[in-house]
Structure 1
Amino acid sequence: MEYKREIYVDRLNARKRNGLVKVITGLRRSGKSYLLNNLFHRSLVESGVDERHIIKFAFDSAEDLEIIGEDLLDLERKNSKVDPRKFLEFVRDRLIDDGQYYILLDEVQNLESFESVLNSYLRKDNLDIYATGSNSKFLSSDILTEFEARGDEVHVFPLSFSEFFSEYDGTKEEAYEEYSLYGGLPLVANMRTEEQKAKYLESLIGKTYVRDIIRHNGLRSDTDMSDLLDVVSSAISSIISPRKLESAFKSMKGSQISRPTIERYTDFFADSFLVSKAMRFDIKGKKYISAPFKLYFEDIGLRNAKLGFRQIEPTHVMENIIYNELRFRGFDVDVGVVKSKQAASDSASVGGYEVDFVANKGSKRYYIQSAYDIPNDEKWRQETMSLDRIGDSFEKIVVVRNPVVSRHSDKGYLLMNIFDFLLGKGL
């Protein structure tokens, strides 16, 4: 089955001919190449672009490399990159007139001096450049340096729940249960059996992602990193303190892993798009709190696979899914803190009350609480206590798992079930 990924096609179309290199980033296997070479290519053709004015090249394709006189196996054996002169000649031969051209490049990090090559194309008004790269060598933080503010990043997430459900043969409840367990990587979603899905995800997290991080950052051992990733996997939706983790590793494992190393490793996880870091934001003080923070997995299936599909806490998984949905919709997402002098009580954290998410996009802001179940008034009071203390007019939302009818409370808070939130087009 084919997922249309319309939101990303629209984002690429909105960036056409903007004078920047459109750089498509994202978690490995999230569908970047298919988006560029199939969906966006099709959109260009349907909009009237002549096929001869679309130049495609995949730097990991033996067939494409053979066209320019390169050999994939030879390059891999020598750990070499593609000669830019051969590629430049390939493009030059296909520029048959002065019309508008679209150049779609896949795995461009395999081209020697690719930054200089792509930047040189920006000097030509009739060339519009799009590129994908492997997250092991082509990270979001690298792009800012390599393209010197001439890159325009489009980040591709695994399938959102609405994308997943659009091709799912079953009910919303069944779809949510599967999505909560195996996540939204397109290849996994298309697998037929649960055994296939589980084995593939375990192989991907165990043999691909961690090794990518080790190679990219020049590390010698993966033991401490893998152990830390286990802890991070267990701690989604929980506040993570590098200082406390350092003490825990020393007491439980006898490890000498230091706080700076823990902070560095969590940054590696985030740079590889495996997890996303949510910083704590003082809502009333309007400033960030540097530490501690929360980490959420970009694909919940990978998180579950890292733990051997144990510890599938539905409350924490739902919070992770809500976080990903907000980012999929283009929001910047923080963890809110409403500071309080009151001692930690009434479910307040030390020093303040927590708001699960502060979601910002342009002039819009939403405060969102993830509450798996609210069986009584006391639970409602606990879940909305932090919202009561914010004191501004932005919309406040409580999302629950059980199938309630969405409605506003007497204080104006919107209570909605998870399906209305994930499948709705509001926000």
Structure 2
Amino acid sequence: MIIERKKYIQQLLDSRHNKLVKVITGIRRCGKSFLLFNLFKSQLKSEGIDSKHIIEMAFDDFGNRKYRNPDKFYKYIKSLIQDDKMYYILLDEVQMMEDFEDVLNGLLHIPNADVYVTGSNAKFLSKDIITEFRGRGFQIHVSPLSFSEFMSAYQGTKEEGWTEYLQYGGLPPVVLQPTAEGKTMLLKDLWKETYLIDILNRNRIKNNAELEELLCMLASGIGGLVNPQKLSNTFKTNKNIAISPATLKTYIDYCSDAFLIEEANRYDVKGRKYIGTPMKFYFSDLGLRNALLNFRQIEKTHLMENAIYCELRRQGFNVDVGVVVVNGKDENGTSYRKQLEVDFVCNKGSRRYYIQSALSLPTPEKIEQETNSLRRIDDGFEKIVIVGDHLISNHDNNGILFMSIYEFMMTEL
């Protein structure tokens, strides 16, 4: 079964002929190679691009091992370029070639060469890969399947699909596994044998138990505010392990750099400034998060919040946690100051949305609670409550939009 990745195909098409190396990044098994060598190549052919003008090279193919030598590879590419028409050069596992950064930068000097690369070593699976191209790289970051992409391959109702998506996530090989047992086993194997090993090897971490325990704490605390000092205290109290906040901050950065987790900082909506620690962390794939916890903590409230965050990031928004400071006096005349939270403050260009995640709104009191912070924001940007139930989108008297999780996950803002 072929799962279309229309958003990324469009990004590849839009970046054609921009005189930069298109670097496709993302965690392992998210579909980078399939996107480039199947979907994008098929798109090029559908537009009438001659096969001779599409040059492919998979460096992990034993038959191509001689081209891991940069001089032989460059000479080979030059021999295939025989006219002035554009040539599309698609390279997989390019890190297996010696001095690949220099070679790729060299290809940019060929006026009718358009270069696309992906790889799977630790460097390509981290945020610093783009710096290797010294301003000549253009990153296209691929995420696991969105819920909309997931549903294109799922044989069942949206409700059943949503439950499975929250449980097993959106990694394509996991989604295509036919049984729940197969999905569970693959996720556990991928976590232990691939993702964890990548982080350990790249950063030369010797104590993998500490890293795993840290990730378990973050996985258990989705939606909660944490900071390195608080995590350090938890290690000391619960595990009797002394590990400094600075070390934990470094470990968190390693996991973030590998695209496994993302940090959402707190933003004072009225004061228009960032607050700093504590912050929230979300996982790039819920299946990996659940496998890390051995599928023990499957709370829909927190998983739904994580899924909304990932969808907003996939749509290209910068996402923060909003804080609305409220000053007042109680019934006794005593002054108070409290902070109300907005789950997500989302910005993209001149657009902004304030978003709350609510699994259900069974009572007027619950509606009042979920909209309390939104009603105190007096700018003109859209305020949305995403509800885990079916409902027809509607605005209340305060102009707040209520929409179902299914509508949100299947459409773009």
Which category describes the TM-score, using the shorter chain as reference length? over 0.9
In structure 2, what is the equivalent of residue 423 of structure 1?
Answer: 410
In structure 2, what is the equivalent of residue 27 of structure 1?
Answer: 27
Please tell me whether the aligned partners of residues 301 and 358 of structure 2 are also in contact (alpha carbons under 8 angstroms). Answer: yes
> In the alignment, which of 159, 165, 189 is matched to residue 175 of structure 2?
189
How far off its partner does 1:140 sit?
Answer: 4.3
* 2:3 aligned counterpart, secondary structure: coil
How far off its partner does 1:324 sit?
Answer: 0.9
Please tell me whether residue 225 in structure 1 is matched to residue 207 in structure 2.
no
How far off its partner does 1:377 sit?
Answer: 1.0
Please tell me whether the aligned partners of residues 343 and 351 of structure 1 are also in contact (alpha carbons under 8 angstroms). Answer: no
Aligned counterparts of 2:39 and 2:328: Cα–Cα separation in 1: 54
Aligned counterparts of 1:139 and 1:280: Cα–Cα separation in 2: 27
Aligned counterparts of 1:315 and 1:235: Cα–Cα separation in 2: 12
Residue type matched to 1:184 in 2? G
Please tell me whether the aligned partners of residues 158 and 184 of structure 1 are also in contact (alpha carbons under 8 angstroms). Answer: yes
Please tell me whether residue 412 in structure 1 is matched to residue 399 in structure 2.
yes
* 2:360 aligned counterpart, secondary structure: coil
* 1:202 aligned counterpart, secondary structure: helix
Aligned counterparts of 1:151 and 1:37: Cα–Cα separation in 2: 19
Please tell me whether residue 261 in structure 1 is matched to residue 247 in structure 2.
yes
Pair 419,112 (structure 1): closer, same or farther in 2 beyond 3 Å: same
In structure 1, what is the equivalent of residue 333 of structure 2?
Answer: none
Aligned counterparts of 1:338 and 1:186: Cα–Cα separation in 2: 39
Aligned counterparts of 1:293 and 1:234: Cα–Cα separation in 2: 15
Aligned counterparts of 2:262 and 2:119: Cα–Cα separation in 1: 19
Pair 149,284 (structure 1): closer, same or farther in 2 beyond 3 Å: farther
- Give a deviation string over 1:262-298, Cα, whole Å, max 9, x none: 1111111111111111111222222222212111111
How far off its partner does 1:252 sit?
Answer: 1.3
Residue type matched to 1:12 in 2? L
Residue type matched to 1:323 in 2? Y
Alignment of 1:313-352 (within 5 A): 313-341=299-327, 352=339
* 2:250 aligned counterpart, secondary structure: helix
How far off its partner does 1:41 sit?
Answer: 0.6
What TM-score does the superposition give when structure 2 sets the normalisation length?
A: 0.95
Please tell me whether residue 276 in structure 1 is matched to residue 262 in structure 2.
yes
* 1:356 aligned counterpart, secondary structure: strand
Aligned counterparts of 1:139 and 1:343: Cα–Cα separation in 2: 52
In structure 1, what is the equivalent of residue 129 of structure 2?
Answer: 143
In structure 2, what is the equivalent of residue 361 of structure 1?
Answer: 348
* 1:296 aligned counterpart, secondary structure: strand
Residue type matched to 1:47 in 2? E
Q: Which shows bigger deviation, 335-344 or 357-366? A: 335-344
In structure 1, what is the equivalent of residue 334 of structure 2?
Answer: none
Aligned counterparts of 1:83 and 1:8: Cα–Cα separation in 2: 31
Alignment of 1:81-100 (within 5 A): 82-100=68-86
Residue type matched to 2:370 in 1? E
What TM-score does the superposition give when structure 1 sets the normalisation length?
A: 0.92
Please tell me whether residue 386 in structure 1 is matched to residue 373 in structure 2.
yes
How far off its partner does 1:415 sit?
Answer: 0.4
Aligned counterparts of 1:295 and 1:107: Cα–Cα separation in 2: 30
Residue type matched to 1:22 in 2? K
Q: Give unmatched runs, 5+ long, in structure 2.
A: 331-336
Residue type matched to 1:42 in 2? S
Alignment of 1:72-111 (within 5 A): 82-111=68-97
Please tell me whether the aligned partners of residues 130 and 139 of structure 2 are also in contact (alpha carbons under 8 angstroms). Answer: no
Please tell me whether the aligned partners of residues 27 and 143 of structure 2 are also in contact (alpha carbons under 8 angstroms). Answer: yes
Q: Which shows bigger deviation, 214-223 or 139-148? A: 139-148
In structure 2, what is the equivalent of residue 252 of structure 1?
Answer: 238
CA RMSD of aligned residues (A): 1.6
* 2:131 aligned counterpart, secondary structure: helix
In structure 2, what is the equivalent of residue 207 of structure 1?
Answer: 193
